[in-house]
Amino acid sequence: MLFEVRCPGCGQLGWCPCAACVEALEAPEPASVPGADSVALLFSHSGVGREFIHALKYRGERAIARWLGDSLALTHLGLIAMESVDTVTWAPTTAAHRRSRGFDQAETLARAAAKALQVRPARLLRRIGSAAQSGTGRSARLSGPRFSGRSSAVGRRVLLVDDVLTTGATLAAAAAALEGAGAAAVHVAACARRGRDRVPAGA
Ligand SMILES: [Zn+2]
């Protein structure tokens, strides 16, 4: 049975994504995430790259999720050579986002990357105080998301994935929680790097 797929970059039928749009992706600015053993980034959150993320985040398109998951796995492996991970996890989105979209795009990516790396994904993080995060108060935004690591993180070599990396604060908080829970290594892989100039003041 054939399924029609459409490129989220240009809308053309046939490949998701098409070769021309992959070629058009802009290289990400480098980013560091405190506490992470390595940081893999795929592309800049602009142009075609932004369309790829929107297809994942707002439309839940499976074909792009699979391609992004494969790409995260390959880019991560390219950075760390032979020293691979034994599980893949994600920083859970807010309960409000999960309810409105019906899924957590970070979890979707983590599952796709785990499949590509042939390891089991694991839910190793809990989000704390997500009610405050979904608020618009200045203090809520400044404090950033907080996470707690589950006891099952002990001794694990973890790949932590996310769709977008802006300041790196979310992933740094998640990496710290995993280390606090006893993870042996925390590597980070994110699809799109959003530049600081696009972040509203106080975010
Ligand atoms: Zn295309």
Between the alpha carbon of residue 65 and those of residues 132, 147, 152, 199, the distances in Å are 29, 24, 26, 25
* Distance of CA 157 from the midpoint of ligand 1 (Å): 35
The domains of the chain are located at: 19-197
**Alpha carbon 200 to chain centroid, angstroms:** 21
- Eight-state DSSP code of residue 61: -
* Distance of CA 49 from the midpoint of ligand 1 (Å): 11
pTM of the model: 0.87
- Rounded to the nearest 5 percent, the helix, strand and coil shares of the chain are 40, 20, 40
- Using 50 as the pLDDT threshold, list the residues of the chain that sit under it: 1, 132-135, 140, 201-203
* Distance of CA 63 from the midpoint of ligand 1 (Å): 13
Do residues 110 and 90 touch, judged by C-beta distance below 8 A?
yes
Q: What is the pLDDT of residue 55?
A: 95
Encode pLDDT of 63-77 as tens digits: 999 999 999 999 998
* Distance of CA 171 from the midpoint of ligand 1 (Å): 29
Q: What is the pLDDT of residue 134?
A: 46
Q: Quote the crossing angle between the two packed helices 62-80 and 105-117, to the nearest 10°.
A: 60
* Distance of CA 138 from the midpoint of ligand 1 (Å): 39
Q: What is the pLDDT of residue 1?
A: 46
Angle at 107 between CA 105 and CA 113, to 5 degrees: 105
Bridge-based pairing of strands 146-149 and 125-128 is antiparallel
Please state which architecture CATH assigns to domain 19-197. 3-Layer(aba) Sandwich (3.40)
Q: What is the pLDDT of residue 34?
A: 94
Q: What is the pLDDT of residue 203?
A: 43
* Distance of CA 10 from the midpoint of ligand 1 (Å): 4
* Distance of CA 151 from the midpoint of ligand 1 (Å): 43
* Distance of CA 23 from the midpoint of ligand 1 (Å): 9
